[in-house]
A and B are shown apart, each in its own frame.
Chain A
Amino acid sequence: MQKTFSEKILAKYSGKSHVVPGEIVEVIPDIAMSHDNTAAISKTFAKIGVDKLYNPDIHLVVLDHCVPPANEAFAQNHKDIREFVKKHGIKKFYDINNGICHQVMAENGHCLPGTIMTGSDSHSTTYGAFGAFGTGVTRSETAVIMATGKIWFRVPETMRINITGEFQDGVYVKDLALGIIGKIRADGALYMAVEFTGPAAGKFTVSERMTLCNLAVEMGAKVGYVPPDEVIFNYLEGRAAAEYEPVYSDEGCNYDAVVDMNLSELEPVVACPHTVDNVKPVTEVAGETIEQVFVGTCNNSRLDDLAILAHVLKGRHIDSSTRLVVIPASSKVMIDAMRLGYIETIVSAGGTLATPGCGPCMGNHLGVPATGEKTISTANRNFKGRMGNRESEVFLASPHTCAVSAVTGKISDPREIPVDMALIFSELRKATLSPVLMTR
């Protein structure tokens, strides 16, 4: 019988000949990521009553949620984590100078096709960009992985999103992802594995696949997945931290739902407050005044995103009533962006640069909005209070839409200031550290 990617990988890891959706299986993941929440996890681990990790090599810890620490409590938290990591011999440890967990994992070759990866972070669906079965788990579950190596999963049903056509100017994979969420809503793919396939999906760069799979969780999904191909294999060449064997859905397998998306029909969109599925065409919300623009987060602050921002800002200045906070996804992205001159352009245009990490994405520091203020952001969540102030509003859009909005001080149609994507891609090929994750 033909099986989906998830059914095949979960059967393989649980040592069964086959599994069906709804079944519960137990597996040992290849990687279990945790970030600043590792201190809390280590306390639950202590309660289980073992003094050694089952296997320190499957754990990966990145400090990113509040780096450098904003106050004493965050600093203590980091200190506790460093001690824990040292005591238990966790070698895959990335301190505050690296960047956002999901990005850092990709850059260091930990995201591999055909592997199972968990993260104590809901956006761990991102690893599906590389053909991994990646999903978020709770803190206690990571503590249990520490103790036993094991985690249970319910075998998910699968939704296939069939992507055809070509992007029009000013439309990006962010618009596609928000477009899907707007169409199927926040629970449209509840508990499902979402496979992004079709002729257009294979053309997406690594960066674009990450943006897409990162947003899968906002559709309710357990995992996002793009079948790994040459784009991924090339990216992993000389970078993969371990050997891997890709897993694919069988031809003719059973999908519980199929959604068709034609890129040629999409237009730039904005997710309006306070839910990610409150998606409207940018033309409907254009003109809304904003006080802050945030280009950052694991969703959209890679080199290609900063390139688009810099190209919009070149020779311009942001509106005097607006602030622009820019946080590269990682230090590698930041260095590449410096070498390519993007940082100089962005800062000269009035941008405020902050150190790689999550920044204000979940309201910890570096750009928390004031009461009554509106922010347009490249992030993946706009829930009430998400950026640290319940009395503020967050709109989500592509880097291009955010860049143009920074120039005008209002939510704006990105097509007002076009960018030359061919030129941008030729520049990006010169990147050396965060090889943009591209091939387009």
Chain B
Amino acid sequence: MQTVIKGKVWKYGDDINTDVIFPGKYTYTVNDPAEMGEHAMEDLDPDFAANVQQNDVILAGKNFGCGSSREQAAVCLKVKGVGAIIASTFSRIYFRNGVNVGMPLITNRDAYDHFEHGDSIEIDFEKGEIRGEKGTFKFPPFNEFFFGIIDAGGLIPYTRKRIQEENR
């Protein structure tokens, strides 16, 4: 995994729920991850799926990912290349799903107050810093274990890999 990423900010508000991140009506009909990406943020920001670039960052307020426990809401952003999600707070189940699909998630309240939609920022996962023209903000750096999960592409592939290595 890259320890530093650079991208543009997509800024949204508080309480972004899993229904607007990935519409409930597709949960049983869309099974292909790439297609899931095409519906990402559909009901909130119709421009998102068409324009988001590799390593762009979602910046949101409190309680990001509240609502259902659907894993697709994390997968759809991952396949669109989102490099990280920064939120003031995450719903607990979204945080777990996010990490388990290999999405870097950062809890930080200050970034939200300073950065705007479209700003360019840089995230240093090892140092635990969000950097941009409007300042530098700290978060607890990612440890080796966290990197491992993200690198492997999620918890299940990570576990499989780990077991294979142990058996070698």
Residue B5 lies at the interface, judged by CB distance under 8 Å to chain A: no
Q: Which of A25, A140, A187 contacts B100, CB < 8 Å? A: A140
Contact A152 B156 (CB under 8 A): no
Query: Cβ of A266 < 8 Å from any Cβ of B?
Result: no
Given contacts A24-B142, A148-B163, A190-B62, 6 further A-B contacts (CB under 8 A): A22-B140, A47-B156, A49-B164, A50-B163, A138-B69, A187-B63
In the complex, what's the smallest C-beta–C-beta distance from B17 to chain A, in angstroms?
11
The 25 listed contacts between A and B (C-beta, < 8 Å) are: A21-B140, A24-B99, A24-B143, A47-B156, A48-B160, A137-B96, A138-B97, A140-B156, A141-B155, A143-B156, A144-B155, A144-B156, A147-B163, A148-B159, A152-B99, A152-B145, A187-B15, A187-B62, A187-B89, A187-B91, A190-B63, A190-B89, A190-B91, A191-B91, A220-B92
Chain A residue nearest in CB terms to B149:
A152
Q: In the complex, A190→B156 CA distance in Å?
A: 26
B135-168 contact mask (Cβ, 8 Å, vs A): 1 or 0: 0000110110110010000011001101110000
Residues of B within 8 A of A23 (CB): 140, 143
State the CA gap A23–B146 with chains docked (Å): 10
Q: Does A347 contact B (CB under 8 A)?
A: no
A20-B96 in contact given A47-B156, A140-B156 (Cβ < 8 Å) = no
CB-defined interface of B96-120 with A at 8 Å, one 1/0 digit per residue?
Answer: 1101100000010000000000000
Q: A-B pairs with the 6 shortest C-beta distances?
A: A22-B140, A191-B92, A24-B146, A23-B140, A187-B63, A144-B159
User: A50 to chain B: which residues have CB within 8 Å?
Assistant: 163
Is B10 an interface residue, CB under 8 A from the partner?
no
> Which chain A residues border B89 with CB–CB below 8 Å?
187, 190-191
User: Within 8 Å CB of A144, what residues of B?
Assistant: 155-156, 159
Considering the chains assembled together, what is the distance between the CA atoms of A65 and B96 in angstroms?
24
Q: A141 CA to B92 CA in the complex, in Å?
A: 14
B66: CB under 8 A from chain A? yes
Q: CA separation between A187 and B89, bound complex, in Å?
A: 10
For window 1-45 of chain A, which residues contact chain B by CB distance below 8 Å? 20-26, 44
**Measured between C-beta atoms, what is the minimum distance from B140 to chain A in Å?**
4
Question: Could you give, for residues 324-341 of chain A, a 1 whenever the CB lies within 8 Å of some chain B CB and a 0 otherwise?
Answer: 000000000000000000
CB pair B63–A49 under 8 Å, yes or no, is no
- With A148-B163, A187-B62, A187-B91 already in contact, the answer to whether A22 and B145 are too (CB < 8 A) is no
Q: Across the interface, which residues of A come within 8 angstroms of B90, CB to CB? A: 190-191
Taken together as a complex, chains A and B put the C-alpha atoms of A422 and B90 apart, in Å, by 45
* CB closest residue in chain B, given A135: B92
Per-position 1/0 for A143-154, Cβ under 8 A of B: 110011000101
Does B145 lie within 8 Å of A187, measured CB to CB? no
- How far is B107's CA from A222's CA once the two chains are assembled, in angstroms? 16
Closest chain B CB from A17 CB (angstroms) = 14
Q: Judge whether B79 is part of the interface by a CB distance below 8 angstroms.
A: no
B95 at the interface (CB under 8 A from A): yes
A48 contact set on B, CB distance < 8 A: 156, 159-160, 163
Name the A residues within 8 Å of B4 (CB-CB).
none
- Which of A185-235 touch B at CB < 8 Å? 187, 190-191, 220, 222
Contact A24/B145 with A190-B62, A191-B89, A191-B92 known, Cβ cut-off 8 Å? yes
On chain A, the residues within 8 Å of B62 by CB distance are 187, 190
Q: Given the complex of chains A and B, what is the CA–CA distance between A26 and B146 in angstroms?
A: 9
Contact call A140/B140, Cβ cutoff below 8 A = no
Contacting residues, chain A, for B139 (C-beta < 8 A): 22
A148 to B91 alpha-carbon distance, docked (Å): 26
Q: In this assembly, does B93 line the interface, its C-beta being within 8 Å of a C-beta of chain A?
A: yes
A77 vs B106: C-alpha distance when bound (angstroms)? 38
